[in-house]
Structure 1
């Protein structure tokens, strides 16, 4: 292989790796099983809550919006209907309420990460989700969903948007794999 082809191949490999970024990984725990009826999975309602520190964060509305969009995309891909609700009230219909409780987060935008790399620091989300039967009001289970990135990965590090997408993917996977007793 001549030097120009080798340079081109190396340039392409570096460009692809810079654009692809690292996937966010989710640490989850909590209720080992979620007893969810198959018919309830078709009707999902989500509600976002945060403590006072979280609600005072200027990026809280952006985090909620991106998370709602990620959950909607994941739910739609599985054939589930998802709607946001300010309160998860009983409506007498089969469904699952998902109350997402955010205890802490640090929002890092792609622009900040690409522009300043390690200088912007780490992004993270610490959260839990309470799964409730919308017909009976019974708590089906609680799971934690935490994710973080390392600034030392530089521009390859997962930003907050990728992290909430990974958490949304895990939440919907947990619902999909849930079996009723």
Structure 2
């Protein structure tokens, strides 16, 4: 009886381990301290750009859309407004321009991971964000945001959508924690 219970507990532990994936973690870097006035934090404007390789990727529009939605959700949670723009140009009111530069990514959907498991490989995003003052256009600072998942984490490992959500959360956190000048 005790052996059956131990086998059951061990089986449950293994099943939970296989089904639970790791949350997306973001490697962020930047040397300068971001200095953003409180009044500017409430008006965020984002622009996405990618190199030619990124722009030729058929998943580029989907990546931008999911990232934009994730940033909008995080900004709203923080009490900020966020708009997407085709170009960041000087504005009449205080705000922060966020130019997201994507240098490489591999998009994976949950369906691909569930259907083919480890065979589909890893998902990753390599990017940076240039923060600028919307009034003057002056560069405030730059941060890198890279994330990846491993197929070996199981079928629940972080796919691209979870990765851009984690990056969006980090971007808004960096803005929130920026000291006023």
What is the TM-score when the length of structure 2 is the normalising length?
0.91
Count of residues in Structure 1 that have an aligned counterpart in Structure 2 = 180
* 3-state SS of 1:118 partner: helix
Equivalent in the alignment of 2:52: 52
Equivalent in the alignment of 1:113: 113
- Is the deviation greater in 96-105 or in 114-123? 114-123
Q: CA deviation at 1:19?
A: 5.2
What is the TM-score when the length of structure 1 is the normalising length?
0.91
- Is the deviation greater in 147-156 or in 54-63? 147-156
* 3-state SS of 2:89 partner: coil
C-alpha distance in 2 between matches for 1:74 and 1:17: 29
Do the aligned partners of 2:18 and 2:154 also contact (CA within 8 Å) in 1?
no
RMSD: 1.9
Alignment of 1:64-103 (within 5 A): 64-103=64-103
Q: Which runs of 5+ in 2 are unaligned?
A: none
- Is the deviation greater in 10-19 or in 119-128? 10-19
C-alpha distance in 1 between matches for 2:163 and 2:116: 19
* 3-state SS of 1:128 partner: strand
- Is the deviation greater in 156-165 or in 63-72? 156-165
Return structure 1 stretches of 4+ with deviation > 3 angstroms: 1-4, 9-20
C-alpha distance in 2 between matches for 1:80 and 1:97: 13
Q: CA deviation at 1:144?
A: 0.3
C-alpha distance in 1 between matches for 2:11 and 2:39: 51
Equivalent in the alignment of 1:139: 139
Do the aligned partners of 1:149 and 1:159 also contact (CA within 8 Å) in 2?
yes
C-alpha distance in 2 between matches for 1:32 and 1:69: 27
Q: Deviations over 1:122-163 (max 9, x none)?
A: 100000000000011110000000001111112132100110
Equivalent in the alignment of 1:23: 23
Q: CA deviation at 1:20?
A: 4.5
Q: Which runs of 5+ in 1 are unaligned?
A: none
C-alpha distance in 2 between matches for 1:58 and 1:103: 15
